[in-house]
Structures are given as structure tokens and as C-alpha cells.
Amino acid sequence: MDAKPGCIDPERQRAVAAALRGFLPARAVLFEAEDTRPYECDGLTAYRALPMVVALPETEEQVQKLLKTCHAMGVPVVARGAGTGLSGGAMPSSSGVLLSMAKFMRVTRIDPVARVAVVQPGVRNLAISDVVAPFGLYYAPDPSSQIACTIGGNVGENSGGVHCLKYGLTVHNVLALRGYTVEGEPIQFGSEALDSPGLDLLALMIGSEGMLAVAVEVTVKLLPRPQLARVVMASFADVETAGDAVAAVIAAGIIPAGLEMMDRPATRAVEQYVGAGYDLDAAAILLCEADGTPEEVEEEIARMKEVLARAGATQLRVSQNEAERLKFWSGRKAAFPAVGRISPDYYCMDGTIPRKRLGEILRFIAEMEKKYGLACPNVFHAGDGNLHPLILYDANDPDQLRRTEAFAAEVLEKCVEVGGTITGEHGVGVEKINQMCAQFSAAELAAFRALKRVFDPHELLNPGKAVPTLARCAEYRGMHVRGGVLPHAELPRF
């Protein structure tokens, strides 16, 4: 569905473009619809709006001037990285400037001794690990779109990945941000020291969805690359036993490097796509990874096998080499595109729950499948309770769309009810702005809005995202993936 259809004021557009062209070359200021069309949405294609103007600055000075200019003219600014986000966090404003940070692609400095890299926000997540690999180091957070997504976008969304139970999220791996306030004043959050005086504004910035400031430089922490990783693949006769096995692994004092679950509808969907060798008779499979020194991995894999067997695993396989490890993971990583092949459309949810409520949520989802007559394969970051149920539907059937939205809404509200959250890692953006009303009270939402105004008094940075107005809380909409195709459909999504 198109969100609000773009109503661009041509006079305003001319004035803003002319002002930006005062310091940006003509090629870096786009306003013809054919040029701005590629920016009308991010990875959440259901929500689109043509930006009034797209700006592609190349220098920090240009970013600063852009912010000062827009601030003076009262023009909204939406910062954008690679546009792979799944919640519409980078959806443009038809009365604003879309600030693309795509040209900020430089790795400014690598310090292998201090284990930090200073990079520009348009540097891709995986590119950081690639460039520091010769030093035996890497950047730990690994969102599934890491081949394309940028570190600036990761900062905006506090991106996770399959290894965050052990290695943390973006907030745990970023040491400093340098950028500009909405007024264009230079500001720094954090440093290469491990803490800063005063309130922890760095933590506040991370995951703020581009609503508090604009970063032009990110300092990340690098970790020594584990010498070895191996994964145990365990089959279970029912999903609740698999859920209990996850708890048993944690209870045994093991923090796996990755701990992922897929149910049978999901393994069957992906097996025909990747041929990973999954046990298709199992109701659920767990992938449980150990990494570290060879001694650590050997000790941990043995303990994992023992715990999983005791927890009722019907079959256990351990990767014997790196190729096999990657093969075991391939289906999990390709789960979204694989599901996209068996259904015209799917709706991906991102709720997080306390792990012990997994069985209850799975039963609830099974009931919802019956209630709404729609199938819903499940893939989970089981280690940290982050669910990605995928509702399969056909968008050409308006009734199926209506049922999907109702299905998703019930599941997300159930996540909140059992003590979880409506979004674990994809962000609120425009997609889940209504469900924020289910998770937070009016006073809490007012506190978020007051905080926003401390940084951005006129609400010009990414307006209308992440925090709903109370009026907005009355509305309720869903999302869907158009024709089963996401932009960047080649990327794994999980």
C-alpha cells in the first residue's frame, strides 16, 4: 500500500533544491521524479513516498551546510544508508530532503593494536570485517544483509545478527560517533576510551532511527577472529522440546556463538532451495554453534551434544569442516528468499519474547494459522528469543491481506503480553509505529517525544518515525511484501 501519496509542493521543491545547489554540485541534488524514484522506499516496500529532494553530499562540510540550510528553511531531513532496512526507517518525506550517505564510503583509520576502526557511515558492514581481516580481527555484529547494509544504518537501527547472544548488538560494538546536530553543530558521542563523562548519550544515539543527529564517522570495536567455529545440528520431534533444549543449553552454562531454530514448514521450504541436508522429518531443528580456540570448541561441542541429546534430540550432526558448517547455515540464512519462492507474498514479524514462553507463542501462532487460514513457517534467533514468523499470503486477495494484518497484530501484541517486545532488531520505523501504542503508555510515549525535542526541537530529523503521536495510536495498519519481492531480493534476510 502506498502510505500518504506524495504531495510535493513544486515551489518549495525549487527553493530547497536551489539552496542546496548553492554548495552541492548539480549532480548531487536530485528532484526529478525519475531520479528520486529509487529512493521512495527502503527494504519495506509497502510504504513509499517520493522525496521532495534527494541530496548526495560527499564531504562533511556539505553535510553540515545541508543541515544548517534545512534547519533555517524548516525542511525535514531523512538520512539513509543502503536502504536495506525492513521497517521503513528511511522512508522519505514528500516535504523533505532525503540525505543519502552513500558516498561516505571511506575507511578512515584502522588501529590493529588498539583494535578499532574509524569508518564513514556509508561503509558496508561486511567491508569492515574484510578490510581488517589481515590483522586477524573482525567487526562482530552480522545482520543478514551485511553484504549490503551500511554501518550508519546499523547504528540507526542498533542492528543485531545471528551472533549477538555472545557478541552483542551494535550498541555493544560501537565506541564513538561523530556528526552534526540538526542545527549543523559538530558533536561527538563516546571516544576510544571505554566511557565518557556525563550521561551516556552514545547509547541513546544507537538505535535512535536517525531522529536525534546525523553521524559522519563511526568508531567501531574490533575483536580477534575466533580460530575455529563448528555447529551442531539437532533434530527434535516437536517444537516445544526444541524450545526446552535451548533453555537446557543455557542452563548448562553454555553461551553458544549462535543458537537458531527453524520449524518443519521452514526447513521444508528452504531445503528445496538450498539443499542443506536438513532432517525434514524433524518438527524443528536447532543450529548451535561454538567458536573460539580449538580446545574451547572441542570442549564446548562435546557439552552441547550431551545437553541436546539429554534434552531429547532425535538426531545430532556436527559440522566436520568449514564448508559443512556454512552448508548447515545456508538454509537458515536463505530462509526469507526461500519462503518467497513458495508463496506470492509474506509478512515478516520481528517480535522478541522471554525464551521460556516460546512453546506458548508457538501454540498461539498455530492457533492463529487455523483462525486466519494462513500458513506461518517460523525461524527464530532462539538464543535471544527473537522470532521471525513469516505469514504466507497473496496480496492480490484483499481478504488475505486483511487476515494477514490481523494475524500479525495479534502475534505482536501477544509478544508484548508475555513480557517481550514488538521489535527485536528491525526497528519501529513506520511499520510498527502503531504497535508502539500497545507496548508503551501515553506517559512513556510523551517521554520519548520530549527526549526527541531535546535533540531536535522542531522535529525535522526523520519526522513521523518510531514514536507515534497519541492521535496516531488510534490508527492501525499492517505491511506486506509486494509480489513476494523485496528490494535487494538477493540478500538473505533473517
Partner 1 sequence: MSDLVAGWVERVRAAGAARSALRLRGGGTKDFYGGEPRGELLDTRAHAGIVNYEPTELVVTARCGTPLAELEAALAAQGQMLAFEPPHFGAQATVGGCIAAGLSGPRRASAGALRDYVLGVKLLDGKGDVLSFGGQVMKNVAGYDVSRLLAGSLGILGVILEVSVKVLPRPTSESTLRFELPQARAILTLNQWAATPLPISASAWRQGQLLLRLSGAEAAVRAAIERLGGDPLPDAEARKLWEGLREQTDPYFSGDTPLWRLSLPSKAASIEVEGEQLIEWGGALRWLRTSAAAGAVREAAHRAGGHATLFRAAEKSAGAFAPLPEVQRRLHRGLKTSFDPQGIFNPGRLYAEL
Q: Which positions from 213 through 252 interact with partner 1, judged by CB under 8 A?
A: 224-227, 247-248, 250-251
Could you say which residues in the range 83-112 bind partner 1, by CB under 8 A?
111-112
Q: Which C-beta is closer to partner 1: that of 363 or that of 453?
A: 453
Interaction of residue 367 with partner 1, rule CB under 8 A: no
Nearest approach in angstroms of CB 488 to partner 1 is 20
Q: Segment near partner 1 (CB under 8 A), from 207-215, 257-265, 390-398, 473-481?
A: 207-215
For residue 223, the number of C-alpha atoms closer than 13 Å in the C-beta half-sphere is 16
Beta carbon of residue 82, minimum distance to partner 1 (angstroms, whole number) = 18
Give least dist CB 489 to partner 1, A: 24
CB-side neighbour CA atoms (13 Å) of 306: 10
Q: Is 51 in the site for partner 1 (CB under 8 A)?
A: no
Minimum distance from CB of 239 to partner 1 (Å)?
A: 17
Residues 441-480 that bind partner 1 (CB under 8 A): 441, 443-444, 447-448, 450-455, 466-467
Closer Cβ to partner 1, 20 or 412, answer by number: 412
Number of Cβ atoms within 10 Å of the Cβ of 314: 14
We find the least distance from the C-beta atom of residue 64 to partner 1, in angstroms, to be 13
Smallest separation (angstroms) from partner 1 to the CB of 153: 13
Among 3, 8, 102, 187, binds partner 1 (CB under 8 A): 187
Edge to edge, the sheet with strand 107-111 lists 107-111, 116-119, 214-221, 174-180, 186-190
C-alpha to C-alpha distance for 395 and 376, rounded to whole angstroms: 15
Under 8 Å between Cβ of 79 and 210: yes
Of 42-50, 287-295, 363-371, 476-484, the segment contacting partner 1 by CB under 8 A is 287-295
Rounded to a whole number of angstroms, the minimum distance from the CB of residue 205 to partner 1 is 9
Q: Which of residues 309-348 bind partner 1 (CB under 8 A)?
A: none
Q: Note the Cα 106 to chain centre separation in Å.
A: 23
Considering only residues 354, 397, 470, 476, which one is a binding residue for partner 1 as defined by CB under 8 A?
Answer: 354
CA 491 to mean position of chain CA atoms: 13
Nearest to 154 by CA among 92, 101, 227, 200: 101
Count residues near partner 1 (CB under 8 A).
Answer: 94
Positions in 395-424 near partner 1 (CB under 8 A) = 419-424
Question: Burial letters for 317-353: b for 16+ Cβ neighbours within 10 Å, e otherwise?
Answer: bbbeeeebbebbbbbbbbbbbbbbebbbbbbbbbbbb
Give residues 136-175 in contact with partner 1 (rule: CB under 8 A).
136-137, 157-158, 160, 164-165, 168-169, 171-172
Q: What is the smallest separation between the CB atom of 455 and partner 1, expressed in angstroms? A: 7
Identity of the residue, 189 or 372, whose beta carbon is nearer to partner 1 in the bound complex: 189
CB of 51 to partner 1, least distance (A): 24
Does 184 sit near partner 1 (CB under 8 A)? Answer: no
**x-or-dash string of contact with partner 1, 293-312, rule CB under 8 A:** x-xx-xxx------------
Task: Select the residue interacting with partner 1 from 277, 292, 463, 487 (CB under 8 A).
Answer: 292
Smallest gap, in angstroms, from Cβ of residue 295 to partner 1? 4
Taking CB under 8 A as the criterion, the residue among 144, 386, 400, 434 binding partner 1 is 386
Q: Which is nearer to partner 1, 202 or 401 (CB)?
A: 202
Under the binding rule (CB under 8 A), the answer on residue 384 touching partner 1 is: yes
Nearer residue to partner 1 within complex by CB, 264 or 426: 426
Question: Which listed residue (12, 13, 60, 196) binds partner 1 by CB under 8 A?
Answer: 196
CB nearer partner 1, residue 280 or residue 442: 442
Site for partner 1 in 109-128 (CB under 8 A): 111-116
Q: By CB under 8 A, tell whether 427 contacts partner 1.
A: yes
**Cβ density class 71-98: b for 16+ within 10 Å, e for less:** beeebbbbbbbbbbbbbbbbbbbbbbbb
Buried b (16+ CB within 10 A) or exposed e, 471-490: eebeeeebbbbbebebbbee
